[in-house]
Amino acid sequence: MGRELFFPRGILSQTAEAKKEAHRYNATIGIALQQGEPLHLPSLKLHLYEIEPSEAFPYAPATGLAELRRLWREHQLEVNPGLEKKSLSLPIVTSGLTHGLSICADLFCNAGDVLLLPDKIWGNYRMIFETRRGADIHQYPLFNDQGGMNLRAFRQALFSLIDRPKVLVLLNFPNNPTGYTPTRAESEAIADALVEAAESGGNLVAITDDAYFGLFYEDNLLQESLSSLIAAAHPNLTTVKLDGATKEAYVWGFRVGFITFSIAGEGDREAAYQAMEKKVGGLIRGTISNCSMLSQSLLVKAINSPGYYEEKEEKYQVMKERYDEVREVVSQPRYGDAFEPYPFNSGYFMCVRLKEALAEPLRRRLLEEHGVGVIALGENDLRIAFSCLEAEQVKDLFDILYIAAKDTESSD
């Protein structure tokens, strides 16, 4: 599909030409105008303070607002200094990170292509890559016995696959569901393994799912995207960075994400990026047409507003306080005979491994008897979104979890 995609030479391209040159009448695009503004309902405009009709009601370009793409590129380079001198495409707007993942699957994944994932994953990856595109998923254990990332298992899995025509490697840090981000040393080892595999002849597409980027709570973590270490690192390694405002700007319902490509090698990389942009634009045109104009306009205004970054820092501190409280509470030995935490240091989530109770019966008991909702993962794991908890609620939740776990053990 990726080879066949193109940006259609039709209504959109002709409309773009008319927007520049039709100085008398522009009768190209399917929106309604009145006195030069998009026709709109006053009852809707009433709720859009400081938003012009032209910023809310028309269609957005298929690849996103030019100003937003420029601003996000500046943001990426500011928070990822390692990308500063790397070859990168201009970010393309997607309808959230999930849409970006779907675009990656359509561009790069044929039926039977390998997708390498850890054993702790966001379940939607299977729907996007396996169910929709027929990917052959291979997994490795995320953690070793020392409480860090299992780099040996990652390397072994990666190098066992490099004879395949193509290997897609999905790197999601901070990880959903565990809330784990590799340390700086672990991140460098991941990057070294990918480059070494590419040098050994592997044809790799590395996708960094940076949905929870910036929520790093410990100083020893890589404070950038892994893409900073692998972008433009080898001609056999294509890097796709997925990020967005969803969590970074706390606007989950806006559905504004971005996809950025990085390649290495000889030739005109800018021409290659332009070709990729046209393919992505054609794919967006052929599926959802375009992303939300209003969400993009609001985000542009927010980024350009005084105090935007200070406000983000305030929200980060709220999340850090919750993380610190979870870290302190869950480390207490009184819970040890019922559950133990998996390593976590970032993001929204943490997971516990149950010692005796089964995850699904315990989840039901928590919900029905205690009014507490958590996510059961497999037979023995529970995911807890501490992002949803006030700091003062954390201890009570884990006390309830312990009591319910022991009750579930005794009833099994």
- State mean pLDDT over 279-297: 94
| Mean pLDDT on 322-349 | 95
More confident residue, 158 or 41: 158
Residue spans of alpha helices (H) in 10-80 = 11-21, 42-45, 53-56, 66-79
- Rounded to the nearest 10 degrees, the angle between the axes of helix 269-285 and helix 96-108 is 110
Question: Among the residues of 160-262, which ranges form H helices?
Answer: 184-199, 227-230, 245-248
Burial class of 252 by CB neighbour count within 10 A (0 to 12, 13 to 18, 19+):
exposed
- Residue 280's CB is within 10 A of a number of other CB atoms, namely 26
Sole residue written with tokens 């495409």: 89
Peptide bond into 343 cis (omega under 30): no
Take residue 41 and report the two structure tokens written for it.
Answer: 């309902």
Cβ contacts of 21 within 8 Å, gap of 6 or more: none
Above pLDDT 70, what percent of the chain?
Answer: 96
> Does residue 47 surpass a pLDDT of 90?
no
What pTM does this model have?
0.92
- For residue 131, name the pLDDT band (cuts at 50, 70, 90): very high
Average pLDDT, integer, range 224-229: 96
Model confidence at 387, pLDDT cuts 50, 70, 90, reads: very high
Residue 80: the pLDDT is 96
Alpha helices in 9-150 (DSSP H): 11-21, 42-45, 53-56, 66-79, 96-108, 124-125
Q: What is the pLDDT of residue 126?
A: 94
Band of the pLDDT at 36, cuts 50, 70, 90? confident
Q: What SS3 class is residue 238?
A: strand
Residue with tokens 């565990």: 178
- HSE-CB for 285 with a 13 A CA cutoff: 18
Instruction: State mean pLDDT over 245-274.
Output: 94
173, pLDDT greater than 80: yes
204-209 and 167-172: which strand pairing?
A: parallel
Rounded CA gap, 279 and 261, in Å?
Answer: 12
pLDDT value for 12: 64
Residue 267 three-state SS: coil
pLDDT at position 17 over 90: no
For 220, half-sphere exposure in the C-beta direction (CA atoms, 13 angstrom radius) is: 8
* 11-30+61-303 under CATH 3.10.580.10, yes or no: no
Residue-level pLDDT at 93: 98
Average pLDDT over the chain reads: 92
23 has a pLDDT exceeding 80: no
Domain ranges of the chain: 11-30+61-303, 309-411
pLDDT at 183: 97
Residue 133: predicted pLDDT: 96
10 pLDDT higher than 70: no
- DSSP annotation of 10: T
Residue 54: pLDDT over 90: no
Asked if pLDDT for residue 39 goes beyond 80, the answer is: no
CATH number of 309-411: 3.90.1150.10
Q: What pLDDT is stored for residue 385 in this prediction?
A: 93
Query: How confident is the model at residue 34, as a pLDDT?
Result: 65
